[in-house]
Amino acid sequence: MTCNILVGGAWGDEGKGKCITYLCNNDKPDIIARAGVGPNAGHSVEFNGEKYGLRLTPSGFVHTGAKLMIGAGVLVNPDVLFKEFEDLKKYNVKERMCVDPRCAIISNDHMERDKSSEHLAKKIGSTGSGCGPANSDRVLRTIDLAQDIPELEGYITDVSLACNETLDEGGDVFIEGSQGFALSLYYGSYPYVTSKDTTASTFAADVGVGPTKVDEVINVFKSYISRVGEGPFPTEMSQKEAEDHGWEEYGVVTGRRRRIGYFDMDLAKESCRINGATQIALTCVDKLYPDCARTQDYSDLSVESKAFIEDIQSATGVPVTIISTGPDLNDTIDLRKELL
């Protein structure tokens, strides 16, 4: 019986998609449950030479033996979900998907309000996916729930009950968080944040699993930082500097150019503390240290990259168990057996 939660350590886009794909393909949990805000997220998954951009479907879909679930705390846009069923047809995503009846539903009106709001679209730089207005209607208790939507009828499942029963029967549940610590409504750089808390405790609540059931919290950091949208960014560099490093990035959902900065140890420490992280996954080590590209054995990493990893461990007090050195699942150093 194992219940693991994966969270983003900074402003999202830390490479959670790759880490989740690796961990689910390797550990083969019975249930992969999506937590977090909703379809404002964009996760990139590369598997068997193909690339997918996901907004609602759990990134662990490549493990075809798992049930895929969307927890009650997550906002659902049925159009986004049905499009992903089409895009992921060969993985039988539609047949494996379960949606909690208590998920709130994003309507066209929520998206319009998000895109046309000076405050959300311009000042905060929201994704325009309707999540802010939908969570606001949820708090006002005026929003529709998944149980009210006839098109979702075939997918409705009590996700909390399913996850807890699986754990009680000795099965494994993997909870996928989205966004990142610094976008949390409570702990991020308010008001330049998303419309909900984005830490591990909330992700557990999103799928209806209590804190006493959680075994591991895996906090994902990229070796540098990116941020989309407005707000403070202490380690930000110029666009020219980012290009010179080869760190130019564009968002999966909005196509916006991401702001880029150096790794922030103070942010990493706070993020590990508030998430109660038990492990760190570090991605894009090859982009910081090109001589580490595709390295699959810890002993083959450069002295500089090992020193960086050790600095993160000693500052946060959390072991770096997963090191990603390229987009392919094989480009992963998995130290869990050695370190845990």
- Catalytic positions: 13, 43
Asked if 78 interacts with ligand IMP (CB under 6 A), we say no
Among residue numbers 209 through 268, which ones bind ligand IMP (CB under 6 A)? 228-229
Cα separation, 316 vs 276, in Å, equals: 11
229 is a contact residue toward ligand GTP (CB under 6 A): no
Using left for φ > 0, alpha for ψ between -120 and 50, and beta otherwise, residue 81 falls in alpha
Rounded Cα–Cα distance for residues 52 and 61 (Å): 11
Residue 93: which residues within 8 A CB-CB, separation 6 or more? 57, 61, 68, 84, 85
Q: Is the peptide bond before 58 cis (omega within 30 degrees of 0)?
A: no
Among positions 6-45, residues that touch ligand IMP (CB under 6 A) are: 11-13, 37, 40-42
Q: Which stretch binds ligand GTP (CB under 6 A): 7-15, 89-97, 126-134, 189-197?
A: 7-15
**Contact status: 16 vs ligand GTP (CB under 6 A):** yes
Judged by CB under 6 A, does residue 110 bind ligand GTP? Answer: no
Per partner kind, with CB cut-offs from 5 to 8 A, the member of ligand GTP, Mg ion, ligand IMP, none near residue 133 is none
Q: Which does 40 bind (CB under 5 to 8 A by kind): ligand IMP, ligand GTP, Mg ion, none?
A: ligand IMP
H-type helices in 28-152, by residue range? 78-87, 93-96, 108-116, 131-140
177 binds ligand IMP (CB under 6 A): no
What's the closest the beta carbon of residue 178 comes to Mg ion, in angstroms? 8
Complex with Mg ion: residue 176 or 331, whichever CB lies closer = 176
Q: Which of 9, 10, 13, 228 binds ligand GTP (CB under 6 A)?
A: 13
- Alpha carbon distance 74, 76 (integer Å): 6
Residue 235's SS3 state is coil
**Exactly one of 5, 6, 9, 15 binds ligand GTP (CB under 6 A); which one?**
15
Helices of type H across the chain:
16-27, 78-87, 93-96, 108-116, 131-140, 159-168, 200-207, 239-245, 265-275, 285-288, 303-316, 336-339
Q: Strands (DSSP E) along 89-245, which ranges?
A: 97-99, 172-176, 216-222, 224-227
Question: Does residue 319 bind ligand GTP (CB under 6 A)?
Answer: no
Name the 3-class secondary structure at 74. Answer: coil
Please give the residues from 39 up to 98 whose contact with ligand GTP meets the rule CB under 6 A.
42-44, 46
Beta-carbon count within 10 A of 75 CB:
26
For residue 132, the minimal CB distance to ligand IMP (Å) is: 4
Using the structure block, give the residue that is written with the tokens 């702990």: 187
Residues from 155 through 184 that contact ligand GTP (CB under 6 A):
none
Q: Least separation, in Å, of the C-beta of 8 and ligand GTP?
A: 6
Backbone angles phi, psi at 326, to 5 degrees: 175, 170
Q: Considering CB distances under 5 to 8 angstroms, the limit depending on partner class, which of ligand GTP, ligand IMP, Mg ion, none binds residue 198?
A: none
What six digits make up the tokens of 60?
A: 């662990």
Task: Give the footprint of ligand GTP on this chain (CB under 6 A).
Answer: 8, 12-18, 42-44, 46, 249, 252, 283-284, 286-287, 324-327
Task: Give the footprint of ligand IMP on this chain (CB under 6 A).
Answer: 11-13, 37, 40-42, 124-127, 129, 131-132, 178-179, 183, 194-195, 228-229
